[in-house]
Amino acid sequence: MPAMHFSVRWPDQKETRCYSPSLVIQDYFQPGSEYALGDFLDQVREALNIASERVRAKYGFACSQALDQLAEIESLAAGFRPDSRVTVTAFGP
């Protein structure tokens, strides 16, 4: 199963390199696009949960890395105002 990384620029202009165990993340985001924080969180939750379930379907267990990544994203997002915007800056290996 091909894994990939995606980079997120937060409202404070810091960037985080994030992990997905599946290319499904590309179905939810476009590099260079900006998203309302709430929309971003909804989409990244859905994408990383799908990615984790794809791992479960193939290997018989959920992807703890995807779920850990989601928890990290949610923790970082909690530090910003609900009306903030984030940018998905890039996809990579």
Tell me how far apart the alpha carbons of residues 60 and 53 are, in angstroms, rounded to a whole number. Answer: 9
pLDDT confidence of residue 2: 86
Tell me the per-residue pLDDT of 35-72, one tens digit each, with 9 for 90 and over. Answer: 999 999 999 999 999 999 999 999 999 999 999 999 99
- Judge whether residue 1 has pLDDT over 80: no
Are residues 39 and 29 in contact, defined by beta-carbon separation less than 8 angstroms? no
pLDDT confidence of residue 74: 98
Q: In the Cβ-directed half-sphere of 58, how many Cα atoms lie within 13 Å?
A: 11
pLDDT confidence of residue 65: 95
DSSP category for residue 56: H
